[in-house]
Amino acid sequence: MPETLVQGRVWRFGNDISTDVLSPGTYAVAPLEIRKLHVLESVNPVFASECQPGDVIVGGSNFGCGSSRETAPENLKAVGVACVVAESLARIFMRNAVAVGLPVLVCEGVHDVFEEGQVIAVDLATGAVTNRTTGDTYQGDSLPEEMRTILSAGGILEVLRTRANG
């Protein structure tokens, strides 16, 4: 069974966080090690350096809007983000996040019920989102088995690699 529980510290962002903010054009072709240092820097300059493995992003609506660059979710994963929970996700961003192995979840109302630094627990299988600091639980959209398999393998290409060699 794929691992479905994520728990970590909350980083909070607003609406319409675009792929330009997640993967600035200036560093679009830079290697991942450089590129990831600039993720979200235009809205939070300390995020990239202070994000710890396991931290979770709580976003507003239309998170990841803009272009189809796969580097946007790749950067978040590279600085240690364990999951993005948002009011809504841009279509291509959501696809690409799963494809590169970054868990994402839509949970209506999530933006207003968390504060930066609180602890969040996300159950990808049931869609349950819990604020560990306050104890309140909210219902998000669960992720189907097939997507969880992709995520726990570390991305869609890893799934294929395993399948080809299995």
- Residue (of 92, 70, 89) closest to 157 by Cα position: 70
The strand order across the sheet containing 56-59 reads 104-106, 83-86, 56-59, 5-12, 119-123, 128-131, 137-139
Q: CB 99 → another protein: shortest distance, Å? A: 4
Q: Which part of the chain contacts another protein (CB under 8 A), choosing from 33-41, 47-55, 76-84, 87-95?
A: 87-95
* The binder of another protein chosen from 22, 100, 105, 110 (CB under 8 A): 100
* The binder of another protein chosen from 90, 102, 105, 124 (CB under 8 A): 90
The CA distance from 46 to 44, in Å, is 6
Which residues neighbour 102 within 8 Å (Cβ) at sequence distance 6 or greater?
73, 74, 76, 77, 81, 83, 84, 151
Instruction: State both tokens at 5.
Output: 């529980």
147 sits near another protein (criterion: CB under 8 A): yes
70 sits near another protein (criterion: CB under 8 A): yes
* The binder of another protein chosen from 30, 37, 99, 119 (CB under 8 A): 99
**Which residues from 30-69 bind another protein, rule CB under 8 A?**
62, 65, 68
Q: CB 109 → another protein: shortest distance, Å? A: 15
Burial class (CB within 10 angstroms; exposed 0-12, middle 13-18, buried 19+) of 15: middle
86 sits near another protein (criterion: CB under 8 A): no
Q: Would you say 29 or 163 has its CB closer to another protein?
A: 163
Q: What are the φ and ψ backbone dihedral angles of 144, each rounded to 5 degrees? A: -70, 160
125 sits near another protein (criterion: CB under 8 A): no
Residues of this chain that bind another protein (CB under 8 A): 62, 65, 68, 70, 88-92, 94-96, 98-100, 141, 143-144, 146-147, 150, 155-157, 159-161, 163-165
